[in-house]
Amino acid sequence: MAINFVLNGEARSEALVSPTRTVLEYLREDAGLTGTKEGCAEGDCGACSVVLVRNGSDRVEAVNSCLLTIGQLDGARLTTVEGLSEKAGELEAVQAAIVDEDGTQCGFCTPGFVIALHALRHGDELVSDAVIHDALAGNLCRCTGYRSIVAAAHAAIAAPGDASPVMATPAPAAGETYEAQGQAFLAPTSLDALVAARVAHPDAPLLSGGTDLGLSFSKDRRAFPVTIFTQNVAQLKRIEEGDAGIRIGAAVTYSEALPRIEELYPSFAALIRRIGSRQIRNVGTFGGNIGNASPIGDTPPCLIALDTTLTLHGPTGPRDIALEDFFIDYRKTELAADEVIASLTIPKLADNEVFRTYKVSKRYDQDISAVVGAFRLTIDNGTVTEARIAFGGMAATPKRAPACEAALVGQIWNEDAARRAGEAARQDFRPIDDHRATANYRLRVAGNLFVRLHRDLEGADKIEVTTL
């Protein structure tokens, strides 16, 4: 089978390109579309942004082509900066606004900004300054300065609407297998077929959004004999909600889940909005964040504090495991070689339960955490009756804080109790020094977050999330 997709409104069928060739390389070197630029090749600068409507999706989204593979394009519609205008010789609204507002100097970053704003213009958000800043947080400009780019964003959003050309051409059907250059790309569409592929190829990487794994292709130039793509498995793409909780498929992206998370756990939503950039959140998934098993992944501490259950699926069917028991040691998990993460189920909060999470990093946007603290407290008549507290960045795995929890349960909820619980973090954790933070800094920050939590719950801390 070939990889079939739409590029700038024209059907493309590629049968010879390596499935893990990055889309950025393909565009610049094979398709001759050099308007899409390479800056960092690791998802940090946004110069390589393209507009993508993924297979099976109707969302017009900006993504980083440096972390996207050709295999992921099967059944998708892709538009580059060369294909945004519907009328030959005329600039598209964002391009025209960038010119009018002097939003470019050397121009290297400009195609990426245009793409990010084109996707924003064709989304369904109520656009404000904050939303524009959020949409542009994944795009770096070294010379123009952002004021004129933000002015161009406002002008383009206000300009008369035209349809995005990305949706003008119907998407082709996607296949389930592709092989080229000695590499197989398996894209099963059912959970059983995904598990069968995993059983047949236990050493093959599972590729979801590719925002972690994509670095193996873009930076390390690895060529795996077999890659198994999870995004076409219908069961992994569902969000289901009942009275007890919400079940999120492992291949659901952050952007897809955000509206429901926002309603159920607003503090968690605020943290998710700080995972990478929009380009990253448009393809990055919960399953990938958990499967990656990093000690500084942002969602696991939150999900552990929220008492999340993972459903793993293997040849004998599903099995459930509490997320807090899933991580065994540094990047080691309970996932067997023939299993996949199928979904995660997060209980809803009861009326007497509160949940807050705080990410501490050197920059507000586009930065990996030094520490993430996540707190779910049950407070009855002013007394803490239950506490589930978890941290990331404090140990080899995301982990609960039993001494902190014990220090809080049974206590009247006031700042003294919060401070005592914070001091107990020294019993729970022996963090390491690294280039992000020293062990002592991490312990102090973890302790201080309890005071922050208290002030936040008392309404004294009006800032939702800040970098300390």
| Residue 332: both structure tokens together | 């080691």
Query: According to the binding rule CB under 6 A, does residue 50 interact with ligand FAD?
Result: no
Binding mask 326-355 for ligand FAD (x = CB under 6 A): ---------x----xx--------------
Query: According to the binding rule CB under 6 A, does residue 101 interact with ligand FES?
Result: no
Query: According to the binding rule CB under 6 A, does residue 297 interact with ligand FES?
Result: no
Query: According to the binding rule CB under 6 A, does residue 214 interact with ligand FES?
Result: no
Among the listed ranges 32-40, 164-172, 243-251, 258-266, the one in contact with ligand FES (CB under 6 A) is 32-40
428-447 residues in contact with ligand FES (CB under 6 A) are none
8 A C-beta contact, residue 329 and residue 397 = yes
Residue with tokens 């409104």: 9
Query: According to the binding rule CB under 6 A, does residue 104 interact with ligand FES?
Result: yes
Nearer to ligand FAD, 257 or 387 (CB): 257
Task: Give min distance, CB of 9 to ligand FES, in A.
Answer: 23
102 binds, among ligand FES, ligand FAD, none (CB under 5 to 8 A by kind): none
| Residue 52: both structure tokens together | 């993508």
Query: According to the binding rule CB under 6 A, does residue 107 interact with ligand FES?
Result: yes
261-280 residues in contact with ligand FAD (CB under 6 A) are 275-276, 280
Nearer to ligand FES, 48 or 84 (CB): 48
Of 451, 445, 442, whose CA–CA distance to 408 is shortest? 451
Task: Give min distance, CB of 242 to ligand FAD, in A.
Answer: 22
Query: According to the binding rule CB under 6 A, does residue 288 interact with ligand FAD?
Result: yes
* Burial class of residue 386, CB neighbours in 10 A (0-12, 13-18, 19+): middle
| Residue 14: both structure tokens together | 């590629």
225-254 residues in contact with ligand FAD (CB under 6 A) are 230, 250
Nearer to ligand FES, 143 or 322 (CB): 143
Of 245, 355, 360, 353, whose CA–CA distance to 298 is shortest? 360
Nearer to ligand FES, 38 or 212 (CB): 38
Query: According to the binding rule CB under 6 A, does residue 46 interact with ligand FAD?
Result: no
293-322 residues in contact with ligand FAD (CB under 6 A) are 297-298
Residue nearest to ligand FAD (CB): 288
Nearer to ligand FES, 39 or 172 (CB): 39
Q: How many CB atoms lie within 10 A of CB 72?
A: 31
Task: Kindly list the distances between the CA atom of residue 360 and the CA atoms of 56, 145, 258, 315, 417, in Å, as whole numbers in the listed order.
Answer: 36, 26, 21, 40, 22
Of 302, 343, 341, whose CA–CA distance to 324 is shortest? 302
Of 28, 60, 460, whose CA–CA distance to 282 is shortest? 60
From candidates 38, 256, 428, 456, binder to ligand FES by CB under 6 A? 38
Amino acid at 347: P
d(CA 54, CA 60) in angstroms, rounded, equals 8
Q: State the sign of the Cα–Cα–Cα–Cα dihedral 102, 105, 107, 113.
A: negative
115-144 residues in contact with ligand FES (CB under 6 A) are 141-144
Q: What is the CA radius of gyration of the chain?
A: 23
Got the DSSP string for 234-268?
A: GGGG-EEE-SSEEEEETT-BHHHHHHHHHHH-HHH
From candidates 3, 4, 20, 46, binder to ligand FES by CB under 6 A? 46
From candidates 148, 285, 308, 345, binder to ligand FAD by CB under 6 A? 285
From candidates 292, 378, 438, 467, binder to ligand FAD by CB under 6 A? 292
d(CA 179, CA 14) in angstroms, rounded, equals 11
Instruction: Please report, as ranges, the residues that interact with ligand FES according to CB under 6 A.
Output: 38-41, 43-48, 64, 66, 104-110, 141-144
